[in-house]
Structure 1
Amino acid sequence: MVKPCSLVKPCHLVKPVSAGRLAGRYLSHQRGLPGLPVPPLQQTCQRYITALEPIVEADELKRTRSLLEEFQRAGGLGERLQRGLEKRAQGSENWLSDWWVQVAYLEYRMPVVVHSSPGLVLPRMDFTDQQGQIKFAAKLIAGVLDFKTMIDNETLPVEFLGGKPLCMNQYYEVLSSCRIPGLKRDSVVNHAKSPAPPKHITVVHNFQFFVLDVYHSDGSPLTADQLRVQLEKICRASAPAGARPLGILTTQHRDSWGKTYQLLMQDETNRASVSAIQRSIFTLCLDPARPQTSGDSYRSAAAVQMLHGGGSGGNSGNRWFDKTLQFIVGEDGTCGANYEHAPAEGPPIVALIDHVVEYTRKPEPERRHSASLPTPQKLHFNITAEVQRDIEEAERSMDTLAQDLDMRVMVFGHFGKNVPKSHKMSPDAFVQMALQLAYYRMYQHCCATYESASLRMFRRGRTDTIRSASSASAAFVKAFDGPRTQVCVQKADLLKKAVAAHRSYTNMAISGQAIDRHLLGLKLQALEEKLSVPEVFTDAAYAKALHYRLSTSQVPSKTDCVMCFGPVVPNGYGVCYNPMDDHINFAVSSFNSCQDTDSARMARAVEAALLDMKTLLDQTPQAKL
């Protein structure tokens, strides 16, 4: 599965919002972006072999070379599929994006919880009671609405990377949208584009859902003070006794949830309530206080809350995980978000959250009381015995998953992106080499490593894969703790080459010339043309190349936060990081059911690798470029 994309530094958008609509600005910007290219077939085949070298055995590599020679021979199957892809590219906005959303997300049948949807952990907020929780939540809502004004008016600042404008489409997909479960394939609906866009959010408290209108009849948003009054009404109306955690159904395997969804929607009251959740601008989850912890233990517990809610005895039922964007505010100051991954990658979510956090720190505006605010509407559900059984099954499944996830958040406080920058090295590449070194030290071999790269230079671009395990990284990690005869200067030179190789692959990926999406496209084109899947895709080496024991993502942010997600294979790790100037926030996940993985051990290994790499560079000043 895909994880949040890297490399796009979000804009920080707290500024006076334009009141006027810049009609057509978004569309004209989008039309000016190039389409995603289809890389040359021979180039991808050669780069695929290069990517396999550090992770497969020599005999496997020899077999794959032979398969690729046959695949790309003149007049062969590869050329036919390449022509089909090029024709598809000519006739579409983006030859990949529709396929990608279907294959990577909507046809993926594992639960979105842990397996797909990322969480985001904010710094602990300065309140410890319900009054503080409500006050902060009210300002958070107002901040999202302020950001939404820029989306609605098309005044959102365009982001750039390397002087080139980026596709802004994902910003227009995250509000008023929701995933809809199906029996074999899900769908996503975006109500922001409907003739009557939603004017409400949903608030869930004590497992009960409420519709909260956030705009006045004249179209102006409620003030933070008015929102506070409304949230107080919701908390008073949501006594905890007897509420059934309907939201936990959204944690289920997608086929199971699809069947329950059909049962649920046979009832008219349920249809209206579910529709209100799906149509809402976003969901706000108000959680009770959790047991007190501090430091990295607190951050790890907070990450669990953002990622899955802690199971049936926690807050997993106080969510609607199909909702594209859920903000989570705990009574103890634990705050963050969870988002359903199909419509967007991490950076647009982080840019929105950066804006909201900064907005919450602004002074309170003048209060505008109103006695005529309508009472928020509680959503009702008629739960049959069959649906109740499904809720209980969902609780058991969620508890199993919650107990299996091993999550560790670590603040690496020794240095931040300042150190690699001082050596003229990419901070992202430096961290990726630390991950390679940490993994090699633990397992004595290299593994397929996924780092997401943004394709937003292209119209409707999503992601491709940066393959961080390279021949250069393998040479570096094998030499680092190798024979003492290898002097520091040689090791530093290997580090420099590994960092340069990673940077080169990154540039290749963001310019649409990486291998993974092209290979996937060729495979899907074969299916589209009802041809047998080429043998190169049933090869053991291809399976090994896609078995990402390290699934990683850099998601930089102005806010001192960290995104988190689960591993993508049973014996792997999910690693997300946010490099700040003088420290780095890491979230490391694995599964307890795998005897070979240990998130805390991996976090310690990453810390040691970063420190050892800095020491190496400090000992070899001539290694500076």
Structure 2
Amino acid sequence: MVPPPGHKLGSLLPDVQVSLPTATVVSWSRQRLKEQHPHFCGSWSAELGQREALARHRSAAQRGTFRAVVATQWSDNSCPLPGLCQPLSPLIGAVMWQLANEVTPCTGSTLSGGRGDPHRPRESFTGFSVLPAMDRKQKQAEKARPCGLLKQTALNKIPGRFQLHQEALPHLPVPPLQQTLDRYLLALQPIVSPEELSHTQELVAEFRKPGGVGERLQKGLERRAKKTENWLSDWWLKTAYLEYRLPVVVHSSPGVILPKQDFLDRQGQLRFAAKLIEGILDFKSMIDNETLPVEYMGGKPLCMNQYYQILSSCRIPGPKRDSIVNYAKGKKQSRHITVVHNFQFFELDVYNSDGSPLTADQLFIQLEKIWNTSLQTNKEPIGILTTNHRNSWAKAYNNLLKDKTNKESVRAIERSICTVCLDAPMPRVSEDIYKSRVAAQMLHGGGSRFNSGNRWFDKTLQFIIAEDGSCGLVYEHAPSEGPPIIALLDHIVEFTKKPEVGKSPTVPLPMPKKLRFNITPEIKNDIEMAKQNLNIMVEDLDIKVMVFHQFGKGFPKSEKISPDAFIQLALQLAYYRMYGHACATYESASLRMFRLGRTDTIRSASVASLKFVQSMDSPDKSDQEKADLLRRATQAHREYTDMAIRGNAIDRHLLGLKLQAIEDLVSIPELFMDTAYAVAMHFNLSTSQVPAKTDCVMCFGPVVPDGYGVCYNPMEEHINFAISAFNSCADTNAARMAHYLEKALLDMRILLQAAPKSKL
């Protein structure tokens, strides 16, 4: 439990004496300590204490930038708690690292422990939090502070800090059954017919009966929640990713388009790649040393686990379910990256013998060696195997690994920190479609004729740099959502702008190791089949990158409307104008307020949004009425978002109930076999807001054959959109959707400017 800044703890823990002008401390239960340890006097103070921590941070304490540390008082002047005083030192050290370097954390900054005596009951140590006092203006600013990384303030290794942070996070709740069922019926109203809704109401009534199947499944979920760190995370990883059998290319793995770089030749390409790799290693050092600043959203600390999954990891194909390997931890941590050029893979060690990372100059020399030894263009594109249907790729994978050389090469790719793809130039296109072409290059490489074989799509992170200045990445989605990837990219982009400092070591570096493959006739056939299937996918993907220049997130904010809610409502209006009805809409909501949290669904198609889009082009409604409906719809979206990020949305709960039925070996309830349920899960609009400091945009494919994938990055003065569809569906068109979306945004602005603000 973490109180707000400046809260007096007397009302929360009356048996703990705390007097803090600059910090709030949550302590152990005095009564429990007295019961377990008779030496304990029951007195607590908030004086400068904990000598071990202060000795290491004395200068900071003397500066007065850190004021409060818990000090215990024992009748025999000792601390008889085994395993309690020692864990406090790194804990307080981590807090002081944050405060003594004058970082102002977001409201709710917490560090909590309890890893001492494993036999001591967990509840006997609540942990503590140190929060700097804030004035009124600071508190108001904190309310509006977005999710983001605090600046790095220390390079000293803080062992155990990540684990302490993770243990302090709450567990994902199981929402109340009746609440979810009520909200499910409400979510169906704008997207199903009255007849379908009536039938579903009957099924819900049966499902929710006291002592019925719904309650039994709910109790099963609640039992699962008590014995796991997160009742959803393993299920979600398996059902959403590892058991998904379509190719990861287009169907699962997102791409990111970075701003075009100003180089136009091989030298520029390699120089930029070297600096980019140096930036990756700089970010990796924060992860390895556990000095990566914690992210916050709405003043709440977020789960940082995904950051520890994205480097040195890889997906492995399986016949029915894939798996993920992670080499980031353990004694044999990865020391190399994979570099691909002309379909040829190289193992590049990125650390010197003393453990220091290679400089950009050193990396440039190594990349030149790779480029010069991979000029042949007749090599088989072995990486194209990773683009195939997962079952087909699993079979080909087993064939590939029968050969010892092939197995060693594949393992080197899987163990690598990440992959850097040095792409050949793509065909030139006009400026108006250039970004759309780059989006396709990031997502799939352009097909077998171009750069699709210059990838290993199972690798979590693949950075792509082309000779013409095009650059970005594609990432395998299973280990992480977009925000940690974007945070890494923001760091790298800023790092590439820094000048080189100091001279590089003059020690000669070994030749990067070429990863060789023996291609049997069977493997050759697998490659040809993968080429054919990939080229069909490439031809089918319709993608449009649109930069909306008329305004950015500043305008809706000036109207006191959430920019995300405004954009989502514009998507609803665009879709309604195109098709004459609303559709099931998916927007990802982060569950990272909870330990191991991934995502839930914000259902943007609501009763309120349907009322607005129906009224927008109606002559029977005044501008004032339309504007009021717009504001009500955006407020409804904001409320659903808030509900979702707090673990109370409906989609993952419904999925959990369904999976619980499967696990209990009972028949699937009729509720999940219903037409309305199928409609609700058929997301014609699959959307995501992925904000970034960098002027970039993420992109991904649709999740249904007749749907759209829409990702956007709202900047202050413009909005970047990436819209995808499938050419094989005659009813969808990415450019047409972009046109209607642009018109919707403009019309909504005109409406708000024309109608005076009303008090809703």
Is residue 2:620 matched to residue 1:485?
Answer: yes
In the TM superposition, residue 15 of structure 1 has moved relative to its aligned partner by 5.0
Give the structure 2 partner of residue 112 of structure 1.
248
The unaligned stretches of length 5 or more in structure 1 are 1-6
Q: Which residue among 538, 547, 557 is the counterpart of 2:673?
A: 538
Q: Which residue of 1 aligns with 2:504?
A: 368
Alignment equivalent of 2:211, drawn from 75, 87, 93: 75
Check the 8 A contact 2:257/2:473 in 1, yes or no: yes
Task: Choose which of 681, 689, 697 in structure 2 pairs with 1:562.
Answer: 697
Paired with 2:612 and 2:321, the residues of 1 have a C-alpha distance of 43
* Displacement after TM superposition at 1:14 (Å): 6.8
Paired position in structure 2 for 1:190: 326
Query: Could you tell which deviates more after superposition, 295-304 or 56-65?
Result: 295-304
Contact 2:150 2:295 in 1 (8 A): no
Give the Cα separation in 1 of the matches to 2:700 and 2:302: 25
Q: Is the 8 A contact 1:39 1:512 kept in 2?
A: yes
Question: Whole-Å Cα distance in 1 between the matches of residues 605 and 672 of structure 2?
Answer: 20
User: Secondary structure of the residue that 2:148 maps to in structure 1?
Assistant: coil
- Residues of 1 paired with 2:448 and 2:145: CA distance? 36
Query: 1:487-533 CA distances to partner (integer Å, 9 max, x unpaired)?
Result: 10000000000000000000000000000000000000001110000
Once the two structures are TM-superposed, the CA of residue 485 in structure 1 deviates from its matched residue by 2.9
- Report 1:305-384 matches (<5 A): 305-384=441-520
2-side partners of 1:161 and 1:239: how far apart?
48
Q: Which residue matches 1:416?
A: 552
CA distance in 2, matches of 1:58, 1:502: 23
Checking the alignment, whether the CA contact within 8 Å between 1:14 and 1:355 is kept in structure 2 is no
Cα shift at 1:217 = 1.4
Aligned to 2:654: 519
Higher relative contact order (CA 8 A, sep 6+): 1
CA distance in 2, matches of 1:624, 1:249: 59
CA distance in 1: counterparts of 2:445 and 2:408, whole angstroms: 26
User: Take 1:91 and 1:507, find their aligned partners in 2: how far apart are those partners?
Assistant: 27
Measure the CA separation in 1 of the matches of 2:735 and 2:307: 35
Aligned 8 A contact 1:10 1:556 in 2:
no
Contact 1:409 1:586 in 2 (8 A): yes
Residue 527 (structure 2) aligns with? 391
Please give the alpha-carbon distance, in whole angstroms, between the structure 1 residues aligned to 2:298 and 2:150.
Answer: 19
Q: Quick one: which of 304, 314, 317 aligns to 1:178?
A: 314
Match of 2:379 in 1: 243
AA aligned to 1:478 is Q
Name the count of aligned residue pairs: 617
Deviation at 1:365, TM superposition (A): 1.9
Deviation at 1:369, TM superposition (A): 4.4
For residues 49-198 of structure 1, what are the structure 2 equivalents within 5 Å? Answer: 49-198=185-334
SS at match of 2:662: helix
Q: Which moved more, 1:130-139 or 1:19-28?
A: 19-28
Deviations 1:430-487 (A, max 9, x none): 00000000000000000000000000000000000000000000000000011x2311
What is the identity, as a one-letter code, of the residue corresponding to 1:366?
A: G
Alignment match, 2:409: 273
How many Å apart are 1:314 and its aligned residue? 1.1
Q: What is the aligned partner in structure 1 of residue 537 from structure 2? A: 401
Q: Kindly state the Cα deviation for residue 623 of structure 1 after the two structures are TM-superposed.
A: 4.4
Offset at 1:107?
0.1
Q: Would you say the 8 A contact 1:8–1:347 is kept in 2?
A: no
Q: In structure 2, what is the equivalent of residue 509 of structure 1? A: 644
Deviates more, 1:294-303 or 1:523-532: 294-303
* 1:345-369, Cα deviation, whole Å (9 max, x unpaired): 0000000000000000011222314
Q: 1:411 to 1:340 in 2, by over 3 A?
A: same
Paired residue for 2:735, among 575, 596, 600?
Answer: 600
Alpha-carbon separation, structure 2, partners of 1:525 and 1:387 = 40
Residue 26 of structure 1 deviates from its aligned partner by 0.3
Measure how far apart 1:335 and its partner are: 0.3
Q: Which of 158, 165, 175 pairs up with 1:39?
A: 175
Deviation, structure 1 residue 240: 2.8
Secondary structure of the corresponding residue to residue 39 of structure 1: coil
* Distance in 1 (alpha carbons) for counterparts of 2:343 and 2:219: 53
User: Once the 2 structures are TM-superposed, how far is the Cα of residue 372 of structure 1 from its aligned partner?
Assistant: 1.7
Q: Residue type of the partner of 2:560? A: K
Q: Compared with structure 1, are the counterparts of its residues 129 and 15 closer, same or farther at alpha carbon in structure 2 (3 Å cutoff)? A: farther
Instruction: Report deviation, 1:13.
Output: 6.6
Amino acid at match of 1:292: R
Contact 1:14 1:359 survives alignment (8 Å):
no
Secondary structure in structure 2 of the residue aligned to 1:329:
strand
Corresponding residue for residue 3 of structure 1: none
CA contact (8 A) 1:10 1:347 kept: no
Equivalent in 351, 357, 369 of residue 233 of structure 1: 369
Tell me if the contact between 2:311 and 2:328 (Cα under 8 Å) persists in the aligned partners. yes
For 2:644, the aligned partner's letter is A
Instruction: Output the aligned Cα RMSD.
Output: 1.2
Deviations, residues 409-441 of structure 1 (Å, cap 9, x unaligned)? 000000000000000000000000000000000
Match of 2:429 in 1: 293
403-412 or 287-296, which deviates more = 287-296
1:9/1:347 contact within 8 Å kept: no
Structure 2 residue 148 is the aligned partner of structure 1 residue 11: yes
> Unpaired segments of 5 or more residues in structure 2?
1-143
Could you tell me how far apart the structure 2 residues matched to 1:10 and 1:323 are?
Answer: 27
Q: Give the superposition deviation at 1:371.
A: 4.2
Cα distance, 1:295 vs. partner?
Answer: 3.7
Question: For the pair shown, which has the larger CA radius of gyration, 1 or 2?
Answer: 2
TM-score, normalization by structure 2: 0.80
Q: Which amino acid is the alignment partner of residue 701 of structure 2?
A: G
Note the alpha carbon deviations across 1:17-60, whole angstroms, 9 max, x for none: x3321010000000000000000000000000000000000010
Following TM superposition, by how much is the alpha carbon of 1:12 offset from its aligned partner in structure 2, in angstroms?
5.3
8 Å CA contact 2:490, 2:693 repeated in 1: yes
Q: Is the 8 A contact 2:146 2:298 kept in 1?
A: no
Residues 617 and 623 in structure 1, CA contact (< 8 A), matched pair in contact too: no
Tell me, in whole angstroms, the C-alpha distance in 2 between the residues paired with 1:622 and 1:31.
45
Distance 2:427 2:257 in 1: 17
What residue identity is the alignment partner of 1:514? A
Equivalent position SS for 1:193:
coil
Aligned-pair CA distance for 1:10: 5.5
Inter-partner Cα distance in structure 2 for 1:209 and 1:8: 43
- Are residues 1:616 and 2:751 paired? yes
Conserved? CA contact 1:287–1:318, under 8 Å: yes
Whole-angstrom CA distance in 2 between matches of 1:539 and 1:241: 54
Q: Which amino acid aligns with 2:753?
A: D
Secondary structure at 2:328's aligned position in 1?
Answer: helix
Contact preservation (8 Å) 2:150, 2:294: no
Q: Which has the higher mean CA deviation after the structures are superposed, 360-369 or 451-460?
A: 360-369
CA distance in 2, matches of 1:407, 1:12: 31
- Can you list the C-alpha shifts for 1:149-194, whole angstroms capped at 9, x where unaligned? 0000110110111111000000000000000000111000101123
